[in-house]
Amino acid sequence: MSLPFTPEQFLGVFADYNEALWPVALAFWLAGLGVLTATWRKPTVHGGVLTYLLAGLWAWNAVTYHMWFFTRINPAAWLFGAVFALQAVLFLWTGVRSRIDYFSGEGLMARVGSGLAIYAFAYPFLTVAFGHRYPAAPTFGVPCPTVILTVGLLLTVRGGVPLILTIVPISWGFIGGSAAVLLNVPTDYVLLGAGALLTCRVCLRELA
């Protein structure tokens, strides 16, 4: 697979994004960590807020990252933005109509899901630890950590979640994970495993 941009151009997008919008990225990280902690303690009380937070993150990625910044080096980002916007709408619609019981599952899959959610919040620090110099480094709130967080949370739900919520995260898990290998972004290698895990979870549910 070849990409229409170089690793330097790719990291340059993050540099522009972080320099322009670092207060928003920090606000998302703090708000997300607070909502995640509250939901882990009282899932039935705060789960709806977490669903709306995910909807906000996907919408933010669609408009701000993909359509505003990433289109500068990749025309396909318009399509990515549309798909991320669709996922945001799906989370918003789900939040209005029903409740997703995050952290209600048990067993290895749920524990791995919780680990992925924690990983998503550690992501900005790990990218720097792996050699990317800020601001030319992906941070919380951009597509890959958002997908890692989403997959992790969906894995913690007992009995599974609506299939329609899993299609885009699974797809981006393989797309983003494969691109990470070409672009040498080690923190995104986790995407491949996350996509495979959610695929297995969906298949096991459908076969049960």
- Residues above pLDDT 70, as percent of the chain: 98
What confidence score (pLDDT) does residue 88 get? 98
Please write the tens of the pLDDT for every residue from 102-118: 999 989 999 999 999 99
Mean pLDDT of the region 65-90? 98
Confirm if 1 and 178 have CB atoms less than 8 A apart: yes
Predicted TM-score (pTM) of the model is 0.96
User: What is the band of 44 on the pLDDT scale with cuts at 50, 70, 90?
Assistant: confident
What confidence score (pLDDT) does residue 159 get? 81
Q: What is the mean pLDDT of the chain?
A: 94
What confidence score (pLDDT) does residue 208 get? 42
